[in-house]
Amino acid sequence: MRLEENKSLAPFTTFGIGGPARWFVEAQSEADVAEAARWARERELPLFVLGGGSNLLVADSGFPGLVLLVALCGIEEQDSPGDDVVLRVAAGENWDNVVRRATAENCAGVECLAGIPGTAGGTPVQNVGAYGQEVASVIGRVRAYDLRDGRAIEFGAEECGFGYRRSRFNTTDRGRYVVTRVDYRLQRGCAPTLRYADVQREFAAGAQPSLAEVADAVRRIRARKGMLLVEGEADCRSAGSFFKNPVMSE
Ligand SMILES: Cc1cc2nc3c(=O)[nH]c(=O)nc-3n(C[C@H](O)[C@H](O)[C@H](O)COP(=O)(O)OP(=O)(O)OC[C@H]3O[C@@H](n4cnc5c(N)ncnc54)[C@H](O)[C@@H]3O)c2cc1C
């Protein structure tokens, strides 16, 4: 484990601002996560889990404990029955790369989530969603490290407490778990989701776009709204939306 001291967090966030981490470590494996957790616990230091820094505003005063950067990598295709394809993704993988892999392999379920910044491990935390899809509907399992009990644990989707931009990871169990791996259950050969008018308008009437074409259309729409990270583009120095849509009963 390579610990760094007084490491500036600004470059690790999409805002590009904020003070330093008193201690900083990059975890490339579950063993690294366990070791870092033990190190912080022995010193009674708070631990903060950092993914892609795209939903985060770091205080100018920085963070007084250990910041653990989730950098576990790897995407594996698991065997599963029928047309289902399970992509087993390590938490540090870039989310848009996961979408690219899924659409390139003609697997439906995440094409409208193209262009959302951050890591795969960040997706179950607030149940990311956009343009008619959300990850809760494709997540099969979430593997995590329990910082309280010091052990790995797996949750089925029904145990994650998913709701609109919420899960157990950002509500009742906020700060307790480090997500290390997510299984996404996708459907090979299924038609893309074309529910949002914005996305429908990108295609001629009657067109039957591929999953990759829909994902590209979503990236184009997001770019027009400053919601796609583009190098050097000042508009995308944000943390995404600062609001939730109102949810009303019928
Ligand atoms: C331009 C832009 C557009 C966006 N568009 C959307 C959108 O359309 N839809 C949407 O839902 N969101 C959107 N977001 C918000 C953001 O991209 C998502 O919330 C993303 O999933 C955050 O992931 P991250 O890895 O960057 O998390 P971070 O910003 O690093 O962390 C966010 C929170 O999750 C926790 N966390 C991160 N990784 C883990 C982990 N492995 N285990 C446990 N906790 C963890 C952190 O502790 C922190 O509390 C947008 C953001 C930006 C900047």
How far away, in angstroms, is 194 Cα from ligand 1 center?
24
**Ligand 1 centroid to residue 211 C-alpha, Å:** 23
Residues forming a β-bridge with 9: none
Question: Ligand 1: which residues within 6 Å by Cβ?
Answer: 14, 49-56, 70, 91, 116-119, 121-123, 125-126, 128-130, 169, 177-179, 227, 229, 236, 238-240
Question: 178: which residues sit within 8 A by CB, 6+ positions away?
Answer: 27, 33, 37, 49, 68, 70, 91, 121, 144, 145, 147
pLDDT for the residue numbered 231: 87
Q: Which of 125, 138, 219 to mutate to test the pocket of ligand 1 (most atoms within 8 A of CB)?
A: 125
Taking 80 as the threshold, does the pLDDT of residue 79 lie above it? no
- Strand-pairing partners, residue 78, are 86
| pLDDT, position 82 | 83
H or E, element range at 98: helix 95-104
Evaluate if pTM is beyond 0.95.
yes
pLDDT of the residue at 204: 94
Given this model, what pLDDT does residue 80 score?
A: 83
Q: Please report which confidence band the pLDDT of residue 36 belongs to, taking 50, 70 and 90 as the band edges.
A: very high
What pLDDT shows up at residue 162?
98
Task: Tell which one of 30, 55, 139, 155 to mutate to probe ligand 1, the residue whose CB is within 8 A of the most ligand atoms.
Answer: 55
Lowest mean pLDDT, pick from 15-29, 78-92, 184-198: 78-92
User: Which amino acid is residue 171, in one-letter code?
Assistant: T
For the stretch 190-233, pLDDT in tens is 999 999 999 999 999 989 999 999 999 999 999 999 999 998 88
pLDDT tens-digit map of 163-197:
999 999 999 999 999 999 999 999 999 999 999 99
pLDDT mean over 114-124: 98
Find the angle CA(129)-CA(133)-CA(138) to the nearest 5 degrees. Answer: 95
CA-92 nearest atom, ligand 1: 41
The b/e string for 4-42 (b: 16+ C-beta within 10 A; e otherwise) is eeebebeebbbeeebbbbbbbbbbeebebbbebbebbee
pLDDT tier at 147, thresholds 50, 70, 90: very high
Residue bearing tokens 């829909």: 214
Whole-number CA gyration radius for the chain? 19
